Structure 1
Amino acid sequence: MRALALVSDATFLETFAGMISGEALVAHCAAKHAPDHLAGLLAKGARAWLAEIDRAPIGYALLTRPELDAAQDGDIELKKIYLLSRFHGSGIAAALFDAVLCGAQSHRRLLLGVKDDNHRAIAFYTKQGFRQIATRRFDVGGTLYDDVVLARDLDRN
């Protein structure tokens, strides 16, 4: 659990430092990336995949029951998928995403929220077949930010 928490913190900070206030980032990581919090999600049925190189965590994905207002029966949420930027373009994010798709195969749609100005992530998700279905406000350490909510229909064969 420690490796998952560590890479959760590292990738979130790397992605959003300079875009989101430092105070909000630290508060969010302390609350949402702590080993106990992640263990609680897994105990409630969430699934996690950890990408490692030489046993060092470099990325992860987290699939949970949806907490999005746009969710419908049969949906599942890709809560997190992050990779240290040094490994962008390596195919590791695509491999993590493929693992998520396998884990979500019994569901109707895969949903996720992404910060509205995270253009790299939005481009990745669009390439993976997602489309925007809604917007939401997302709390990061007590500060609200705008997200777009994306969905991808899943083949349940």
Structure 2
Amino acid sequence: MNPSGRHEVGSAEATDADELAAVAAATFPLACPPTSPPDEIAAFIAAHLSRERFVDYLADPSRTVLTARDRGTIVGYAVLVDGVGDDPDVARAVTIRPAVELSKIYVLADNHGSGAAAALMAAAADRAAGTGARCLWLGVNQKNERAQRFYTKGGFRIAGTKTFHLGAHTEHDFVMVRTLRSDALRGLAPGLAVGP
């Protein structure tokens, strides 16, 4: 749970696929630039955020799907993916290994500011560190300043750029990286160091 006790964060189950797809369909458009064509957003959701895709994500051992719940209802989710993938721009930006990608982290609009995103972020960093990863990385649209502020507050820094294809449009993302601490330091504030 987050410090306020309002949200429970944990691993998603196969039975959550329908609810995850509904939350994804409601939240993905919030992260898109206002110039993104609605039909291309809808096509992306159908191809990458459907119930069937979440069934695949939940069965994939290289992925971890986390949920934030408010009184049992999913209000947000995060997807972690082992490694850096095969994008050369990401490989140049993410120099710390092993690494885990924070592929997705979304919270329903009426839960923004509630602590759900912070609780998901803390759980994602904890899970990644628990696998032995030394950093967590993500891509964020260069125009999404709200998300960038959230990630910066969570200990991420801009390490490079990459592109993201949304239909026929090419979007430009920052690659942001957060160094993870050892098991002994998990749960401490980002950047906090202890003595030898």
Q: TM-score, normalised by structure 2?
A: 0.74
In the alignment, which residue of structure 2 is the partner of 1:151? 177
Structure 1 runs not aligned, ≥5 long: none
Q: Please name the residue that 1:52 is paired with.
A: 69
Match of 1:26 in 2: 42
Aligned residue in 1 for 2:20: 4
**Count of residues in correspondence between the two structures:** 157
Identity of aligned residues (%): 35
1:109 correspondence with 2:125? no
1:30-109 paired onto structure 2 within 5 Å = 30-45=46-61, 46-65=63-82, 66-67=84-85, 68=87, 69-70=90-91, 71-72=94-95, 73-105=97-129, 106-109=132-135
* SS at 2:26 equivalent: helix
Deviant stretches of 4+, over 4 Å: none
Deviation (angstroms), 1:129? 1.0
Structure 2 CA distance for partners of 1:29 and 1:151, relative to 1, 3 Å: same
Comparing 118-127 and 55-64, the one that deviates more: 55-64
CA 135–92 in structure 1, closer or farther in 2 if over 3 Å, else same: same
2:33 touches 2:143 (CA, 8 Å); kept in 1?
no
Could you say what the CA RMSD is over the residues aligned between the two structures, in angstroms? 1.7
Contact conserved, 1:132 with 1:151, CA < 8 A, in 2?
yes
Larger Rg: 2
SS in 2 for 1:81: strand
- Most deviating of 15-24 and 121-130: 15-24
Q: 1:116 to 1:17 in 2, by over 3 A?
A: closer
Counterparts of 2:33 and 2:26, CA distance in 1: 10
